[in-house]
Structure 1
Amino acid sequence: MTLFIAAPLVLLPDGLHRFVLPKLTILFIALCVGLLVPATARLGRPVALILAAIAAVFLIAALSSGDPGAAIVGRWPRYEGLPVLLLYVGLLVVGARVLGGSTASKSRRYLVRGLCFSMLILMPIAVAEAAGLRPLGGADDVRPGATLGNATDLGLVGLVACLLLLPSALWTKNRLAQIGAVAAGVVTVASGSRGCILVVVVCGTVLFGFKAFQLMRSGKRVLALTALAGFLGAAAVLSWSIPSVAERLFSTETVTGRVYLWEASLRALSGKAFVGLGAGQFVDVLPSHLSDAFARNVGTEFPADSPHMVALQLVSAGGLLFLLSAGVVMCTVIVAGVRRSRALPVNEHKLFLVGALAAVCGYGFALMTHFTSPGTTALVCVLAGAILGNAPAQEANAGRRPGKALNSVRLAAAGLALVGAILSGVAASAELPMKSGTELAAKGDIPLASKEFEQARALRPWDQDVALLAAQAFAVRAVTGDTTAAAAAVTWASSAVERNPSSMEALTALAVGQLGTGDVNAARNTLDRQIERSPWTSEPYLLRGLAKASGQDMAGAIADIERAAALTPKPERALSILSELYVVSGQPEKAAEVEKRLAQAR
């Protein structure tokens, strides 16, 4: 149980992407241990069959995708391929084994206490980051997300913990649960995630309202109204007291962006909704289904690797059958949670079930504008398993043949989980040379940076995105005029394109490298290929315009740079280049017009 609680807090301090793989390592170890400890309950056979169907449908979708290998093992940054899906399924089983049934009260109390302490650790970090500080590092212009690496993920962890702890905090005198619930609420608000804040406020209002109703029935009307008003008032004051959070509450920028992203996602999925695209394929398919409106309002500089809606994410990863199977599991959790909590008196088990059900449902609602990730989904799977785990464990029947078979399956699964922990630990260690290589590339030490990236690739040979990330690091340096970095960008980007020809990001890095080495014709061919696949992406037009300008095709260069400026919500860079092109081509009047547009954009 300690490992489950610690997983959201784990990170690799000196890694390039330091959040996901270390958490996966801890979670695989937790799964291994959870499958070996004595069980207090188990999942029913119907649920087990549905979970097996989920894995089978996912595998079929992966094998049907454009890149079966990457779809099976998963891709950067969250690596949610088949191994991680099986991890989620296994954690659901472990949740039933360890937290399900009436005899697991000790484990449930331990989980509640552990979550309280983890929220007390996260709270000061989240508040400091909301105030503009960076205790764990990170850029000042990015919402960092504490130990989760993503602000909404941080909000989701706070949401799940808060809703799990609230029933115990309201209906018992457990001071630690009350403090933990408050800390979790602060974490949620400090994350700045509007969806998470809304879910906590709505679910919290329901729980506080029910408690207030009970108090009013017992004649404590003033106390009831004070408690409900106090909760709503505290949520409002806390939200408005943090400037960065208050600013986001009234911003519509990301809301509009989500709508455009969902429209593009539906177009991308329309032809393959039944079998899906396969895990990790969305980022490469989406650019071919964008629009001018998407480019102008959202931008194409940072390609989305998820539709930011759980229903569309499930269809993308495994198709409609995958979505249907997951929906059946969710409905089963809700029905089981309601039925079992109603059948119990007000005791520790009932309060835990109510909190777990609220947490699972709240998480599902919050994912309507977000995506799953190991740091958040793992805990929810454990709680869902705790709700479903009601059938008595049959360890005593191990001497019977069916018992022996189940025991063998369990031991084999534990062994696979241990293998997963080892592999993910090795993969996580690759983040150290990845960061070192990126820093060396930025400083211009290209040979040593290449050695670091080679070391990372040796540790993660299955990960095609190692070459992509290396190519992007060298491309950033190549833009400054470093021809050695440009040559390295060509080498690594060519490797990335060879493994994944549909990667727009790899093609961009390749074109930058080709321009940096003076191979303008090759760069134009690469950029033509990009623009043919996605005529709504700004960067290829910008680069092709520069390539045409170097070949004295000023009319073509101006047309491409104009198009690049029209396909981004931040056209300052393109307009600045366009103004220079008009000056060079002897058109000062048009250069002046562009300068006016540039001043307005700024």
Structure 2
Amino acid sequence: MLPGGLYRFVLPKLAILLLALFLGLLTPATSRLGRPTVLILAAIVGTYVIAALSSEDLLAAFVGRWPRYEGLPVLLLYVGLLAVGARVLGGSSAAKSRQYLVHGLCFSMLILAPIAVAEAAGLRPLGGADDTRPGATLGNATDLGLAGLVACLLLLPTALWSKNTLAQIGAAAAGVVTVTSGSRACILIVVICGILLFGFKAFQLFKSGRPVHAIAAFAGFMGVAAVLSWSIPSVAERLFSMETVTGRVYLWEASLQTLSSNAFLGLGAGQFVDALPSHLSDAFAKNVGTDFPADSPHMVLLQLVSAGGLFFLLSVAAAVCTVIVIGFRRIRTAPLNEHKLFLIGALVAICGYGFALMTHFTSPGTTALVCVLAGAILGNAPVLEGPAKSRRDKALDVARLSAVGLALVGALLAGVAASAEIPMKSGTDLAAGGDIPQATKEFEQAKTLRPWDQDIDLLAAQAFAVRAVTGDTTAAAAATTWARAAVERNPSSMEALTALAIGQLGTGDVPAARKTLDTQIDRSPWTSEPHLLRGLAKASGQDMEGAIADIERAAALTPKPERELNILSELYVVSGQPDKAAEVEERLARAR
């Protein structure tokens, strides 16, 4: 996490992960990936590159986009960490390294647990708005749940079948992290996997003549899970809420529509957020809302198709199947020792993570660890030393050293890119406070540090647009300038067009604003904000009938129409229709 940054949680992690890749590739190998696995990983990268080359925005497809930046460099990072997992954690001789990983995860969970508990209680020890679900150092509540899920499931077998006290404490802390995240998918998966593992442990205790211990172990797990889930109001409320479940269904329907004509090669990384608005519906807008555009389908299968097409999805599926098959085979044939317990935990964690991604998306904060665990399962080929090395082994050494150099360069670049988050945060705060010239300097500095990131223009434009809404004409002019740059780099961005329209309205250029808003509405008639802004633009031109029609449409396209109904009531009053204004006030009372 980068204190003082605008979005503090991804680029700093990428810098550390690239440094870990650099060090991991220099570490003496205990095992390595087999040739079939290497070919599958090459297919994953190859299919992604082919899809990226066919994307409408080549730069975004290769480098990724804010906030997770999962382009080709991050994909290569995931592949490299899988190889490091095999190199450092694979094989029977890597017991010490696996112990370090277990201990590291335990301490990580002991740090995350109190933060997660505090956030679940409504506190904000790391900052953030009171009305959002925080996610500790993961930045996203479901990502926090995924981190807890992976750690808990990895540690549980060691905690249950060994006398490793630290693993037992770590597994308990990871369970607390998972529950307090409020992620229903993560909680459900941990409970199901916990029932299976505790149930098998109880069965063994029962067979060994210790029925009381068996009942206590199983009942204790269920009791603790229930108490944790129901004793925290924010978690209990989400467990019985169907709002996000319904929203996921609408999002998946819209995602399928978006991908239906691009399934073969996909849209390219970072393109989903701009392609989705043209495939929405009235039902989506009314039940989900369009104020915060989704940048992922929130289902890993659709996410993979969106980023790289069907062949990319099939390549990743082949890698997952390979991990599962090899994992089962090794677990079945291995004696009950440290390595077997680690393999069981790793395989369960990977499968649990995959199931949780059926309602979420990948991110560097969670996917990296899963890749390392997958590599630990797949690492099986013997490592040859000295003159016994074949020509192929020497070629692999050359490739490895090349990857070492690239990882070091990537870590340095990611560090510089992460540092841009500090002027981004400063610029946003200055814009909110009305110091537009200084805010502009801060955003320009961020752009210098991250010239490849097209979303800096967009984020700056949005920051100035927030201030422009208050009537600050200087902020409106800045919003127009930055939004035009964002639209020039990405003409399909609905968010950039919205910021541009706000800036144009704020500077009094109503005809230009109406033209911008017409473009948005033609492209996506289901997005609420353009209708609202066009209604305000028409009202400023005394077209009250048109303004009322647009505001009515905006109110119909949002699940929480209080703002729209307030404006609509005022318009009816101004236009001399008090009866209509009273009706709107009744609707507003019901909406509240």
TM-score range, shorter chain: over 0.9
Tell me which residue corresponds to 1:49. Answer: 39
Q: 1:84 and 2:74 equivalent?
A: yes
Q: Does 1:154 align with 2:154?
A: no
Q: 1:389 to 1:397 in 2, by over 3 A?
A: farther
| Structure 1 residue aligned with 2:177 | 187
Residue matched to 1:71: 61
Give the Cα separation in 1 of the matches to 2:180 and 2:567: 40
Q: CA, structure 1 residues 558+398, in 2 after alignment: closer, same or farther (shift >3 Å)?
A: farther
**1:369 counterpart letter in structure 2:** T
Q: Which residue is equivalent to 1:367?
A: 357
Could you tell me how far 1:393 is from its partner in structure 2?
1.7
Deviations 1:487-526 (A, max 9, x none): 0000000000000000000000000000000000000000
The answer for the alignment partner of 1:130 in structure 2 is 120
Partner Cα distance (1:169, 1:276) in 2: 43
Cα deviation for residue 405 of structure 1 reads 1.2
**Distance (whole Å) between structure 2 residues aligned to residue 526 and residue 44 of structure 1:** 55
Contact 1:269 1:276 in 2 (8 A): yes
User: Alignment partner of 1:42: what SS?
Assistant: coil
Cα distance in 2 for residues equivalent to 1:167 and 1:389: 20
Residues in 2 aligned to 1:115 and 1:419: alpha-carbon distance in whole angstroms: 27
Instruction: Note the C-alpha offset of 1:397.
Output: 4.9
Q: Give the SS at the match of 2:340.
A: helix
**Contact 1:298–1:568 (Cα < 8 Å) also in 2:** yes
* One-letter amino acid matched to 2:319: V
Q: Select which of 196, 210, 215 maps to 1:225.
A: 215
State the 1:401 CA deviation. 2.5
Counterpart CA distance in 2 for 1:106 and 1:62 is 40
- Note the aligned Cα RMSD (angstroms): 0.7
* 1:67-115: CA deviation from partner (whole Å, max 9, x where unpaired): 0111100000000000000000000000000000010000001100111
Name the stretch that deviates more: 480-489 or 386-395: 386-395
Which residue of the other structure, out of 436, 440, 465, is the alignment partner of 2:426? 436
Cα drift, residue 556 of structure 1 = 0.6
Cα shift readout 1:446-493 (whole Å, capped 9, x = no counterpart): 001000000000000000000000000000000000000000000000
Matched, 1:338 2:334: no
Tell me the residue number matched to 1:416.
Answer: 406
Alpha-carbon separation, structure 1, partners of 2:214 and 2:276 = 51
Equivalent position of 1:301 in the other structure: 291
Which one of 21, 37, 50 corresponds to residue 31 of structure 1? Answer: 21
Is the 8 Å Cα contact of residues 541 and 560 (structure 1) preserved in structure 2?
Answer: yes
| 8 Å contact from structure 1 (residues 397, 403) kept in 2 | no
C-alpha distance in structure 2 between counterparts of 1:582 and 1:125, whole Å:
49
Amino acid at match of 1:510: L
Confirm whether residue 381 of structure 1 aligns to residue 371 of structure 2. Answer: yes
Alpha-carbon offset, residue 133 of structure 1: 0.5
**Residue 252 of structure 1 corresponds to which residue in structure 2?**
242
Greater mean alpha carbon deviation, residues 56-65 or residues 539-548: 56-65
Q: Contact 1:398/1:407 (CA < 8 Å) preserved in 2?
A: no
Structure 1 residues 210-219 or 269-278, which shifts more? 210-219
- Residues 407, 480 of structure 1: alpha-carbon distance in 2 compared, 3 angstrom cutoff: same
Q: Pick from 512, 515, 529 the counterpart of residue 522 of structure 1.
A: 512
Which residue of the partner structure matches residue 533 of structure 2? 543
- Shift, 1:220, TM fit: 1.4
Q: 1:160 to 1:575 in 2, by over 3 A?
A: same
Do residues 322 (structure 1) and 321 (structure 2) align? no
Structure 2 residues not aligned, in runs of 5+: none
How far residue 399 of structure 1 moved from its aligned partner, in angstroms, is 5.0
Distance 1:203 1:320 in 2: 30
Deviations 1:397-439 (A, max 9, x none): 5754222211110000111111111111010000010000000
Find the aligned partners of 1:201 and 1:593 in 2 and give their Cα distance.
49
The separation in 2 between residues aligned to 1:403 and 1:577, in whole angstroms, is 71
Q: Which residue of 2 aligns with 1:599?
A: 589
Going from structure 1 to structure 2, the CA distance change for 1:397 and 1:108 (only over 3 Å counts) comes to farther
Say which is worse superposed, 22-31 or 222-231, in terms of deviation: 222-231
Q: Distance in 1 between matches of 2:471 and 2:161?
A: 66
TM-score, normalization: structure 2? 0.99
Matched to 1:165, the amino acid is: L
2:93 alignment partner, SS class: coil
Hey, what's the Cα distance between the residues in 2 that align with 1:190 and 1:423?
Answer: 35
**Given the superposition, is the C-alpha separation of residues 119 and 397 from structure 1 closer, same or farther in structure 2, using an over 3 Å criterion?**
farther
Q: Does 1:177 align with 2:167?
A: yes
Per-residue deviation, residues 507-557 of structure 1 (Å, max 9, x unmatched): 000000000000000000000000001000000000000000111111111
Q: Under a length normalisation based on structure 1, what TM-score does the superposition of the two structures give?
A: 0.98
* Contact 1:98-1:107 within 8 A present in 2 as well: yes
Residue in 2 that maps onto 1:471:
461
The offset of 1:307, in angstroms, is: 0.3
Question: Which residue is equivalent to 1:8?
Answer: none
- Residue 500, structure 1, aligned to residue 472, structure 2: no
Paired residue type of 1:559: A
When structure 1 is superposed on structure 2, of 95-104 and 221-230 the one drifting more is 221-230
1:5 corresponds to? none
Q: Identify the residue that residue 486 of structure 1 maps to in structure 2.
A: 476
Structure 2 counterpart of 1:29, one-letter code: L
Following superposition, the deviation at residue 392 of structure 1 comes to 1.3
Task: Look up the SS of the partner of 2:416 in the other structure.
Answer: helix
Question: Taking structure 1 as reference, are residues 397 and 567 closer, same or farther at Cα in structure 2, changes over 3 Å only?
Answer: farther
Task: Out of 483-492 and 222-231, give the one that drifted further.
Answer: 222-231
Shift of 1:243: 0.8
Which residue among 370, 373, 393 is the counterpart of 2:383? 393
Alignment CA distance shift 1:398-1:306 (3 Å): farther
Q: Which residue of 1 aligns with 2:8?
A: 18
| Aligned mates of 1:205, 1:325 — CA distance in 2 | 32
How far off is 1:230 after superposition?
1.0
How many Å apart are 1:222 and its aligned residue?
A: 2.1
Residue by residue, what CA displacement relative to the aligned partner does 1:355-391 show, whole Å, maximum 9, x if unpaired?
Answer: 0000000000010100000000000000000000011
SS for the counterpart of 1:392 is coil
1:103 alignment partner, SS class: helix
Using the alignment, how far apart are the partners of 2:133 and 2:259 within structure 1? 30
In 2, Cα distance between equivalents of 1:21 and 1:73: 12
Residues 138-197 of structure 1, C-alpha deviations (whole Å, 9 max, x = no match)? 111111100000000000000000000000000011110000000000000010000000
- Residue 405 of structure 2 aligns with an amino acid whose one-letter code is G
Give the match for residue 567 of structure 1: 557
Decide which of 174, 188, 195 is 1:205's aligned counterpart: 195
Query: Is the 1:398–1:404 Cα contact (8 Å) retained in structure 2?
Result: no
